Amino acid sequence: MTEPLFRADAYLREAPATVAALTPEGGIVLEASLFYPTGGGQPGDSGRLEIGPRSWDIATTVKGGDGAIVLVPAPGGPALPAPGETGQQVLDWARRHRLMRVHTALHLLSVVVPLPVTGGAIGEDKGRLDFDMPEPPEDKDALERALNALIAADHPVTERWITEAGLAAQPELVKTMSVKPPAGTGRVRLVRIGGPDTQIDLQPCGGTHVARTAEIGPVTLGKLEKKGRQNRRLSVILAG
């Protein structure tokens, strides 16, 4: 199992790297990884792995077997490093931070649109949620104002853990209908927006987030799209 350094500190940009294994497909597994693997609608991280005079551009990061996090090198790099070699891993921080901003904004979107979520995706400039929404909202501009007010209020974003049994006893915490929280480890990570006495949102999530909502910056809502009989899609677009 790869130690997920991003879990302890989503703002860590560089860290030592020790190669643990290579995959048959040409991926690189580190003992501990800054790089978040694709999952929960959030794309895998990119960046660079440096070992001595050699370096590999990391195009993306994916999940492997037995808890491994697999760095996928871009084509055209040098021969892969050998297990046991050490160096430095460098995250594409500008891209990661934009993904964090979008991801946290989508959590807030699920607050201003309190309907079941049927799907979602996170990008560098915008993200979207699909809602079980039989009728369109009466005032989309009011939703946008409410979303920006939550962002500007600069609520803290923190995490806590709950047992799987505890989550099963509180099914209302799970907003997504299509993606269920990972099971089998005995506990689930919850992301909270707001303080214990001023909680805005609390839901299971394994992704990376900003520390405070004001980091997101102003956003706009894209065009409301109809996706089936009851599904409607709303996109959140970063202003800059």
Percent of the chain past pLDDT 70, that is, above it, reads 97
Q: How far apart are CA 98 and CA 216, in angstroms?
A: 8
- DSSP symbols for 100-165: HHHHHHHHHHHHHS-S-EEEEEE-SSEEEEEEE-SS--S-HHHHHHHHHHHHHTT-BEEEEEEEHH
**Fold match between domain 3-91 and domain 96-238:** no
pTM score above 0.95: no
182-219 per-position pLDDT tens digit:
656 778 889 999 998 889 999 999 999 999 999 999 99
CATH class of domain segment(s) 3-91: mainly beta
Break the chain into its structural domains and give their ranges: 3-91, 96-238
In this structure, are residues 2 and 68 in contact, taking their beta carbons and an 8 Å threshold?
A: yes
Average pLDDT over residues 128-143: 94
Q: Which CATH architecture has domain 96-238?
A: 2-Layer Sandwich (3.30)
Residue type, 90: V
Distance separating alpha carbons of residues 228 and 240, to the nearest angstrom: 31
Contact of 14 with 84, CB cutoff 8 Å: no
Q: Tell me the average pLDDT of the chain.
A: 94
Residues whose CB is less than 8 angstroms from the CB of residue 192 and which lie 6 or more positions away in sequence, other chains included: 157, 158, 159, 160, 199, 201, 202
Residue 82 has pLDDT above 80, yes or no: yes
pLDDT band at 229 (very low <50, low <70, confident <90, very high): confident
Ramachandran angles phi, psi of 14, nearest 5°: -140, 150
Which pLDDT belongs to residue 184?
61
